Amino acid sequence: MTDHAHAPDPTPAPLPRPRVKMKPKSNARALRHGFPWVYANELVTDRRTRNLAPGSLAVLEDEAGRALGLVAMNTASKIIARMLDRDPDAQIDHAWFVARLSQAQALRAQLYDAPAYRLVHAEADGLPGVIIDRFGDTCVVQPNAAWAEVHLELLTNALAEVTGCQVILKNASGRTRALDGLDDQSAVLKGSAPTAPVPVVMNGATYMADLTGGQKTGLFYDQRDNQAFAARLVAPGARVLDVFSHVGGFGLAMLAAGAGHATCVDGSAPALELAQAGADASGFADRFAARQGDAFDVLTALGEEGAQFDVVICDPPAFAPSKQALEAGLRAYERVAKLAAPLVRPGGYLGLCSCSHAADLTRFRNASARGIGKGGRRAQLLHTGSAGADHPQLPQLAESGYLKSVFFRLD
């Protein structure tokens, strides 16, 4: 007769997690104080550590063997470990994702009337390397770190539960994924991909977001507050210029505020078609013009034409995406300011933006001021802006505060 009381448990105990150790004199204190990354040169990388698959979970220890938390590993990346949880025994399961996403959702619901915002801003929302933008009942996910790719099904199911979104798309574009050794294959994770651009209302204008073929997730929510400030500079009937306009971010916001005419300049014909569609949907078609071309060439040509505008905004791509590109990037920002300043009528306004985290605010502001001076103009600095509150910053991680905007009044 079998003694069932002593029958073996059919579910084996989970294997202990691998443990990885910081090198002596590495900055474990920064990790304790909230810094979320461990660089490859800070970790002891023996053969066992090197054999951990990208996205594996491990317990991070300081040099004395004290646990610092649970990290996601990727030995192929300069960021070899990303802090997921201060609790080294945390279970990265459905409930864990639901808790993180619910906290992020609650913040945005407090801030915005409509579900159109950045829902998850990576490390600042406790999901390292993960970007999620929400467009009504559709979410676009950028899993830019190996651990997020490994846990994508869990993330998707939790996201659907927390938001109720019927459509979840994966966007795999962007250089960040390549840095983590990931592919560029986008996918539909839930539901069916929209077959037409999705309208998004911000600052009184309707924007058209291409969620499958557009840049990044389809729309840049980070400039919402800066576009609102630009709109405050518009007097009724003003002529405005939006350079590097993408889908018309600043131009449409200024038209909604009463500008008499807006010209949007971009190198991308599809982006300008979406800007035109946004102008049509907003009822601004008769006050809107698009001009396709290299922004530097168009700025030069407008200067030669003697064109004048009441407000000029330049929001270029990241000219300084890394420290190596910093000096060349600052020269490019200076050149933008030099070419744009003469296009502003006396007493008008110039807004300049940078999304380069390598160029801090002081350097960017100084480059902009130099350019304005070289353009023959004197300026008052009126306002300095950053990304909206749906792009929270992790105070310990400078990279999370990448967006800067400076607004000047020109004599």
Q: 182 near 233, Cβ under 8 Å?
A: no
DSSP string, 136-192: TTEEEEEE-SHHHHHTHHHHHHHHHHHH--SEEEE---SHHHHHTT-----EEEES-
User: Which residue is catalytic, options 139, 165, 353, 355?
Assistant: 355
Q: 344 near 306, Cβ under 8 Å?
A: no
Please provide residue 247's backbone torsions phi and psi, each rounded to the nearest 5 degrees.
-90, 25
Look-up: residue for tokens 């490390």?
A: 123
The span from the CA of 18 to the CA of 35, in Å, is: 21
Show the CA angle centred on residue 250, arms to residues 247 and 254, nearest 5°: 125
Residue 322 makes CB contacts below 8 A (sequence gap 6+) with: 358
Neighbours of 194 (CB within 10 A): 16
Tokens of 370: 């130099």
Q: 375, exposed or middle or buried, with CB in 10 Å at 0-12, 13-18, 19+?
A: buried
The alpha carbons of the chain give a radius of gyration, in whole angstroms, of 24
Query: What's the length of the chain?
Result: 411
Q: Active-site residue 165, yes or no?
A: no
Q: 356 near 367, Cβ under 8 Å?
A: no
The span from the CA of 113 to the CA of 395, in Å, is: 27
Among left, alpha and beta (phi > 0; psi -120 to 50; other), residue 216 is left
Angle (deg, nearest 10), helices 94-111 and 152-163? 40
Task: Report the Cα 302 to chain-centroid distance in Å.
Answer: 31
257-284 burial by CB neighbour count: b if 16+ within 10 A, else e? bebebbbbbbebeebbbbbbbbbebbeb
Please provide residue 148's backbone torsions phi and psi, each rounded to the nearest 5 degrees.
-70, -35
Measure Cα distances from 2 to 8, 11, 176, 340, 381 in Å. 12, 19, 58, 87, 85
Look-up: residue for tokens 């459905």?
A: 94
Residues with a catalytic annotation lie at 355
